[in-house]
Amino acid sequence: MTNRNGKINIIGLGGSLGKKSVTLSALEISLQSAKRAGAEVELISLRDLSLPFYNPELKLEEYPEGVSRFLDKIRKADGMIWASPAYHGTVSGAMKNALDFLEFLAKDDPPYLTDKVIGIITTSSGTIAGVNAINALSHICQALRAWVVPMMVPVIQAWKLFDEKGRITDPQLEERLTFLGAEIVRWLEHC
């Protein structure tokens, strides 16, 4: 699916609630790369979205209007880049909560995220949690019937790789994040 301008539509979903988030900094690098590769991109920061907790007993109409707008953007996306900080060995609670709302896409045709292409970025202060979060997000993608691009970017010991203003300081990491954004566009153009 492309948007009305004929461009590939990629949503970046930022799973950090922090004001000075290196997770969002990493996501922005990948989104800018996707844009340079010809996609139309939009960053959705969960900090700005302020989703309530997902409750499977509630109907969509019982949630604030922002939930429906969020789901409509996901429906219209050809691909996504998910970026989450890793807390205590897995994805952030905010990210998991946002992904739980995708249950409302179960009755769509096709359901969930069928045939959407997803790139994954995680950030962690340690050495293991980011990889665990990559695996968790990859499993969630599979459960939602999406395709995960092989290039996933765990940003290990992120505090060493970004300066105090959130700018990346590691050229190899910047190269991997740039590759990820372009790779999603390439997949969508050829699949």
Do the domain assignments include residue 64?
yes
Domain span including residue 186:
9-190
Flag whether 3 is in a domain: no
What is the reported pLDDT for 116? Answer: 98
What CA–CA distance (Å, rounded) separates 154 from 84?
Answer: 10
pLDDT in the model for residue 160: 83
Alpha carbon of 47 to those of 26, 62, 95: distances in Å? Answer: 16, 21, 10
> What residues in the chain have per-residue pLDDT under 50?
1, 3
Tokens 């010991």, located at residue: 157
Residue 4 placed within a domain = no
Q: Read off the CATH number of the domain in which 134 is found.
A: 3.40.50.360
In this prediction, residue 2 carries a pLDDT of: 55
Residue 45 resides in a domain = yes
To the question of pTM greater than 0.85 for the whole model, the response is yes
In a domain, 182, yes or no: yes
Buried (b) or exposed (e) across 147-185, using 16+ Cβ within 10 A? bbbeebbbbbebeebbeeebebeeeebbebbbbbbbbbb
Inside any domain, residue 1: no
State how many domains the chain has. 1
Exposure of 145 in the CB half-sphere (CA atoms within 13 A): 12
